[in-house]
Structure 1
Amino acid sequence: MSRDDPGVTAVPLPLSRRRFAARTRPHRLPSRLSGHAAVTRVLVTAVLVGAFAAQAAAALLPLAPLLLAATAVSLAVEAVLHRRQPGLLSLFAKAHADVTVRHVVRDLLLVVGLLRLGEEDGEPGLAPLVAGLLAFYALHSAIQAVSVLVHRTRTLPVVTRNIDASALRLSPAPAGLLRRPGHRLLVFGLPATAGLAVASVTDETRWAAAGVALSLLLSLTGLVVLALRLLPGRRPAGEQEVLEWFDAWLADYRPTVGLYFSGGASSAYQANMWLEPLAKLGGRPVIILRERFMVSRIAPTDVPIVCLPKVATLMRLEHSTLEVLIHPSNSGKTSQVLRIPTIKHAFVNHGESDKLSSCNPYAKAYDEVWVAGPAARERYALAEVGVEDKDVVEIGRPQLDAVRPYAGPPTGAYTTVLYAPTWEGWDGNPGNTSVIEAGENLVRALLADPGVRLLYKPHPLTGSVDPRAGAADRRIRELVQEANRERSGPRPAPSAELARLTAELDRLTEAGFRESADQVERMLVQSAPEPGRAQAVARATAAWEEAYWASLPEGEHQIVTDARPALYACFDISDLLISDVSSVVSDFLASGKPYAVANTSGLSEEEFRTTFPTVVAATVLTPDAAGVPALLESVRHPEKDALAEARAELKLRLLGPAEPSSQERFGAAVDALCAAAEEHRARMTRRLAAVPSPRREASTALTPPQPSRPV
């Protein structure tokens, strides 16, 4: 799969199914809030402002019942904000109305209410309460300061997975409550607020005193617990100790080939698609990441994972045995690792299509560019972006080796059609996605055929740039749901086998983290993975997918948006793909099945086919979807399929020959580039040996050891 794909990684991350889907699929960009979300925010804000206004009025009048009720409503809205509206919390903070300010205002209004309810003469009875509240807020600030110090001691220069890091004195993280100032203030301050509220009704300040005292005790306890974390024996290893440990691990493990990846939260699938091909290489592979959050987003694998956030730490790879790094994507941080002269770099991309992103000029920065087949080689030559033909290596697409080949026309009662449009992209090109201009027409035409079962798998970023795409996507989903209501067949009982496989897959992919676990605790939990876990996850995923499709009512249309089932699983059970110009088309060609591409570019069909070579073997559909009935007829009756031979030829051009397999060609390319890296190191060693002695001695420290690459 690629940046254009409507799906995410084929192997689940170490989270439960629902949490995994929420955490790993590319998030919609907040270009514009949906109507429902905007109304909810306005409503929550209005209730909170109204509660504060009522509390102020009740404190000044004074009205004890109203003061109590307004305080209770205000606290309830705070709970909703922290659990359901984190975005609104950030807006309040930008307006200098963060949780601390709100909490102080709430408590001060209660004190004012107490004064107005009988203490106007300034009796000293409230002075201890005010002093106690001030002490509580001072302790809150102290806890936050100590929390920051503890966080710094637990922010290691190297983050790992699948590596025994017990020598670094790793330990579980402090309770999340102590690290989250908003939650901590609400919980620790609740007794004081509640005591003041009760005192305003009962006119007995002892309730307020008891509440303030309990809040002080909780805060003091929290401060002590956090402060103990700063003791030398309770801290993880320091920065220098961690770096020395990392150097020792590199010397002991002696990696030869690695995958380098840097990207945003939504891009992990680009690295995940290369995990299995990397693991099958044998030897001692490693995964190099740059963002700390990405460590937990990489799918289950037995390959060691190392995150090196700082450039200075990354440069330590120069003195390792690492010979080759493969790059599934370009990023701003890619240029940093390209500076290491002892490592050869190959760009493998995360998918190929006819879009300009598949022949980016940045590719000329790599030693080699590895592509699927001759079409990509030609694409680079025609693009004239500085990539020389001698540096282009055809390796196929190892991820597609497992895609099931075409086995003939549909034999059951239904023809399964996968409609997988891409998103609208950044450039505003109307031809990027068919959702806006053609999506509803295509879906209506497909649903009008009683023999069609539709799988609708939109790109997760649909609607993130153009609201029209998001609106069209919602209307398409409504059409599919309405069609299912009309096609009311008996729904089978929940599958016990599917439930068992789901539980098994969740067990294999669930890392067992506490919700409050930080990076150090995750390193501790994931330091020694169960041997063969990645293979077990792959087997469980395959069994789950088979059970999932079998559990669905025959002919029921599906809207596929979760991480399971994956895109390639949808390929396997589909008889036909309808998509846009994207890498989804290139990947689907591995199956040899019929496919169609919607033309919303404004070009004529001839110009469309000429501009986008992946469309050569496709049925081109116009925005009105007039060609859908004939397309379905050709799928059901192969003798009417005039594009079968063209698909076979295009598959060869796009993906290369079937033999040797893509995995074998990938391995051969790795071996060849490793050999080139070894030769380069040998030449540098000989050149340094010829340098006069003083200069040679000064340069020796920069020369990496000659690696011993396993076969």
Structure 2
Amino acid sequence: MGALVDGVGDAGDGADDETRAGARPAPDGHGAGDASARDGHRTGDPSAPGPSASPGAPSGAGSVSGARTARESVRSGAALSALGAGYALQTLGIVAGNAALVVTGAVLGLLTDVVMQRGARRTAQRLGRAQFTPSARQLLRDALLVGGLGALGVVRAGSAALLLGALLGCWALHFVCQAVAGAVRARRQLPVVTRNIDASALRLSCAPPALFSTRTTLRLACVSALTTAGMCGTAVVGDPVWAQAAALCCCAGLLAGAGRVATWLLPGKRVADEAEALEWLERWLAEYRPTIGMYFSGGNASAYQANMWLSTLAELEGRPLIVLRERFMVQKIDTTDVPILCVPKVSHLMRLEHSTLKVLLHPSNSGKTSQVLRIPTLKHAFINHGESDKLSSCNPYAKAYDQVWVAGQEARERYAQAHVGVEDKDVVEVGRPQLAPIEAAGTRPVGHRDGYLTVLYAPTWEGFTDDPGNTSVVVAGEHIVRALLADPQVRLLYKPHPMTGTVDPRAGAADARIRALVEEANERRGGPPPAPEAVAALRRASARLAALSRDAYGPHADEVERMLRQPAPEPGRARAVAEARRAWEEAYWAALPAGRHCVVTGEGPGLYCCFNEADLLVSDVSSVVSDYLSSEKPYAVANTTGLDEDAFRAAFPTVRAATVLGPDGSGIPELLRSVRHPELDTLAAARAALKLRLLGPSQPSSLVRFDRAAQALRRQAEERARLVRARERRPVDAEGEVAAEREQERGQALADALGEDERP
């Protein structure tokens, strides 16, 4: 099915563009921040090596990741062998006086270098760490070629000097071009990065030509190909003019390119300097007058933590703003109409103190959070990126905020029991406003997709701690998936967490094996292809979504050009993209062959869309369970903690209304039977009660409660500012009163000395 949705994502060759940010991730929640790590919604492509710790794993389960590692080793060995063979052939040709060997070795080495940049990048990186960079490898080839031409008697003293001078000129101009490009990049790095903001006052301009600015490896490959071709031609025909002409042409091209890039340093093309940019920032803040913002700092795979709050932030009363700290994160944020401001330096961040911004919402903790907490004019609320029964949901860092906003009573009690320093008066229940798109149980009948029972397996990742039961992927994942796939009327949606395998290689290996199981099950199931009408509808929906969400800049634009191409958007753009995304997701499901299992990652449907598609959820103790519970549909939780079922339910309140599965996947047939026959479902009432405790009441709506909390916190910030202003005026007033009293005392002393009649 991957071919059906080509064009939805942003593909772009960024291999040589060292300044280009990653592709934008798909919207919505769980698994949304890892578009660069996993290809869309395709199944397979296991990539994480490592041993298995899963009990009872099949004998060939580790072969998928092992085969990938073996392929990488073969490619690496072949590349190194070909590279060495090229140098050996050149050397042998010089010694033997054989032009064919010299030419063959040079061509082999050049082709190997080009292929290695695509198919064996790890090998190229290892060679680079050993200082045997592409430049060094090409220099050695050129030296051997020139030596070969001399040994073969093709070039004489005069022509050899010209050729050598031209080649040295090529290399000198290559490095000059590199230096000029570096100066331009440094000059174009502004102290702030914006999106959805008109920053034209900063004299923004398009990026210089990528071939001469950022694509160093490609430029070197082009020059090397031309000079190598010229010298090989000289070696074959015996005329030095070919080598000289090629080298001189390269010199001319590099000189022109370096000169072209250097024009970006001229006054007419220079962007604003740091002082001008900061002055512009203060003016923009004064004009826009933001009142509430979301502050976010994180890594490549963490953007989903902020993206899940975009729709809520846009609906709040006032003027919203997104404040980021990492430059690459600007393009990781999903489509939104909210202005985005990235301020990397803490000294520049402090300028928010004098703005109208009063409240900052924090969906995650990070090392840079403490920097913004120092601004005294702001009030801070921790809103988290999901709630679960895990200890990580009650991080002691939360006591650094003015308030902690939680979904319901359960989370409030969790903080009280955790004793992490968060006082009950600072906990505010606001619900989960972003859960509004999740459909309630009964909206779609069970088995609505061709009669198959749709089961969503959405395990969490292994986390940074070694707590047992963090994830079911390693211990129970394969057993759960095998048990589900054994039912011929089950359709499985496997949606792994985007950070699976980033800490524990065993989790990555288990994830790869689960993907392989899904692939094998699809091959066994077979079935008719999707209807042509459904495929055509998906293509139309894909084209519509791509047209609305397509970036306005090229793949090699730098951040200044992206700022130029992403000014204040037209009103309603984000809403139109969201509607197109929903239409695409519905078309995606309709275009799948009947009963086809799916691995959903990256550009595939979002988590909440998978919730609506599923009849049953199987997950771990995580925020996924709490969110899914808003639908009141059946769910199961894998117990891999080592606790018995009663202790497990007591320790994790979100499990109270769940079916508990053991590490071996036992109990799944009975669970599936209860979903197919609602009269056997004994946990429906428990789910409704637990939903109230976890997510709060349905009226007033969560968005209303969230907005009320935001406005109340803003009023607190304004009251604090009023008190500070009053306190700052008090010393001046007191000083005036003291001066008046002293004047009165002097007058009284004079009257006493002169007497009543002589008083002036």
Q: Which TM-score tier does this pair reach, normalised by the shorter chain?
A: over 0.9
Are 2:152 and 1:117 aligned?
Answer: yes
- 2:182 match: 148
- Superposed CA deviations along residues 185-233 of structure 1, whole A, max 9, x for unmatched, are 2223432222112212222111111111111111111111112111111
Q: CA deviation at 1:60?
A: 3.0
**5+ residue gaps, structure 2:** 1-6, 13-21, 27-31, 38-46, 51-64, 737-760
Contact 2:24 2:331 in 1 (8 A): no
State how 1:534-573 maps to structure 2 within 5 Å. 534-573=574-613
User: In the aligned structure 2, how far is the partner of 1:690 from the partner of 1:566?
Assistant: 56
CA offset digits 1:3-38 (Å, max 9, x no partner):
xxxxxxxxx998469955599417669887951334
The answer to whether the 8 A contact 1:26-1:461 is kept is: no
Distance (whole Å) between structure 2 residues aligned to residue 203 and residue 411 of structure 1: 77
Deviates more, 1:474-483 or 1:20-29: 20-29
CA displacement at 1:476 relative to structure 2:
2.1
User: Do 2:301 and 2:498's aligned partners in 1 also have CA atoms closer than 8 Å?
Assistant: no
Secondary structure of 1:562's aligned partner:
coil
Whether 1:667 aligns to 2:707 is yes
Contact 2:474 2:507 (8 Å CA) reproduced: yes
DSSP-derived class of the 1:681 partner: helix
1:423 to 444, 461, 464: 461
Which of the residues 461, 469, 476 maps onto 2:507?
469
**C-alpha contact 1:15 1:509 (8 A) present in aligned 2:** no
Q: 1:618 aligns with which of 658, 662, 667?
A: 658
Going from structure 1 to structure 2, the CA distance change for 1:295 and 1:20 (only over 3 Å counts) comes to closer
Three-state SS of the structure 1 residue aligned to 2:555 is: coil
Instruction: Check if 1:178 corresponds to 2:212.
Output: yes
Stretches of structure 1 that go unaligned for 5 or more consecutive residues are 1-11, 697-711
Conservation of the 8 A alpha-carbon contact between 2:48 and 2:501: no
Q: Quickly say closer, same or farther: Cα 1:533–1:486, change in 2 above 3 A.
A: same
Q: Partner of 1:131 in structure 2? A: 165
Q: Which residue of 1 aligns with 2:272?
A: 237
Residue 25 of structure 1 corresponds to 34
Contact 1:129–1:208, Cα closer than 8 Å, also in 2: yes
- What displacement does 1:498 show? 1.0
Matched, 1:603 2:612: no
Q: What amino acid maps onto 1:183 in structure 2?
A: L
SS in 1 for 2:617: strand
Q: For residue 410 of structure 1, what is the amino acid of its counterpart?
A: V
Residue 705 of structure 1 aligns with which residue?
none
Q: Which residue of 2 aligns with 1:307?
A: 342
Could you tell me how far apart the structure 2 residues matched to 1:624 and 1:451 are?
21
Which of 484, 500, 503 matches 1:446? 484
TM-score, structure 2 length as denominator? 0.86
Does the residue aligned with 1:369 lie in a helix, a strand or coil?
Answer: strand
Residue 337 of structure 1 aligns with an amino acid whose one-letter code is: V
Aligned equivalents of 1:511 and 1:116: distance in 2? 54
134-143 or 218-227: bigger deviation: 134-143
In the alignment, structure 1 residue 159 sits paired with structure 2 residue 193: yes
Aligned-pair distance for 1:334?
0.6
- Which residue does 2:721 correspond to in 1? 681
Q: 1:84 to 1:169 in 2, by over 3 A?
A: farther
Q: CA deviation at 1:131?
A: 1.7
1:353 partnered with 2:382? no
Residue 433, structure 1, aligned to residue 471, structure 2:
yes
Cα contact 1:415–1:452 (8 A) shared by 2 = yes
Q: Is the 8 A contact 1:324 1:343 kept in 2?
A: yes
For 1:693 and 1:159, locate their aligned partners in 2 and report how far apart those are by CA, in whole Å. Answer: 43
Match of 1:706 in 2: none
The answer as to whether partners of 1:325 and 1:346 remain within 8 angstroms in 2 is yes
Query: In 2, distance between residues paired with 1:263 and 1:475?
Result: 29
Identity %: 56
Q: Give the Cα–Cα distance (whole angstroms) in 2 for the partners of residues 695 and 598 of structure 1.
A: 70
Report the secondary structure of 2:731's partner residue. Answer: coil
Distance 2:296 2:402 in 1: 17
Moved more, 55-64 or 669-678: 55-64
Distance across 2 between alignment mates of 1:618 and 1:67? 72
Amino acid of the structure 1 residue aligned with 2:196: N
Aligned equivalents of 1:463, 1:53: Cα separation in 2: 41
SS in 2 for 1:691: helix
Which residue of structure 2 aligns with residue 410 of structure 1?
Answer: 446
- Pairing of 1:242-257 with structure 2 (within 5 A): 242-257=277-292
In structure 1, give the amino acid aligned to 2:362.
Answer: H
Contact 1:51 1:70 in 2 (8 A): yes
Query: Could you tell me which residue of structure 1 aligns to residue 376 of structure 2?
Result: 341
CA contact (8 A) 1:59 1:113 kept: yes
Which of 1 and 2 has greater Rg?
A: 2
**1:66 CA displacement:** 2.1
Contact 1:434 1:600 in 2 (8 A): yes
Q: Distance in 2 between matches of 1:38 and 1:565?
A: 34
Q: Which amino acid aligns with 1:560?
A: V
1:479-498, aligned counterparts within 5 Å? 479-494=517-532, 495-498=535-538
Structure 1, 47-56 or 311-320: larger mean CA deviation: 47-56
- 1:505 equivalent in alignment to 2:583: no
Give the direction of change, closer, same or farther, for the CA distance of 1:331–1:21 in structure 2 (3 Å limit). closer
The 1-side partners of 2:174 and 2:605 are apart by 46
Structure 2 counterpart of 1:379, from 414, 420, 436: 414
Would the alpha carbon gap of residues 393 and 38 (structure 1) be closer, same or farther in structure 2, given more than 3 Å must change?
farther
Cα RMSD, aligned residues only? 2.3
Find out whether 1:642 has 2:682 as its counterpart. Answer: yes
Give aligned pairs, total: 684
Q: Determine the C-alpha separation between the residues in 2 that align with 1:49 and 1:330.
A: 49
Deviation of residue 402 (structure 1)?
A: 1.6
Q: Which segment is superposed worse, 481-490 or 208-217?
A: 481-490
Does structure 1 residue 226 correspond to structure 2 residue 235? no
Match in the other structure for 1:318:
353
Matches of 2:92 and 2:382, distance apart in 1: 66
The answer as to whether partners of 2:154 and 2:235 remain within 8 angstroms in 1 is no
Moved more, 168-177 or 429-438: 429-438
Tell me the residue number matched to 1:6.
Answer: none
Q: Which residue of 2 aligns with 1:60?
A: 95
Counterpart AA for 1:123: A
Shift of 1:596: 0.4
* TM-score, length-scaled by structure 1: 0.92
The Cα shift of 1:602 comes to: 1.3
CA shift at 1:534, angstroms? Answer: 0.2
Distance change (3 Å), C-alpha of 1:396 and 1:39: farther
Report the Cα distance in structure 2 between the residues aligned to 1:601 and 1:374, rounded to whole angstroms.
Answer: 25
Distance 1:626 1:88, change over 3 A: same
Q: CA deviation at 1:471?
A: 2.8
Tell me if the contact between 1:14 and 1:296 (Cα under 8 Å) persists in the aligned partners: no
Offset at residue 59 of structure 1 (A): 3.0
C-alpha distance in 2 between matches for 1:537 and 1:83: 34
Distance across 2 between alignment mates of 1:46 and 1:432: 44
Contact (CA 8 Å) 1:60, 1:112: kept in 2 or not?
A: no
Amino acid corresponding to residue 545 of structure 2 in structure 1: L
Residue identity opposite 2:694 in structure 1:
L
Q: Secondary structure at the match of 1:454?
A: strand
Contact 2:212 2:257 (8 Å CA) reproduced: yes
Q: Distance in 2 between matches of 1:37 and 1:398?
A: 46
The one-letter code of the counterpart of 1:480 is V
- The answer to whether the 8 A contact 2:481-2:514 is kept is yes
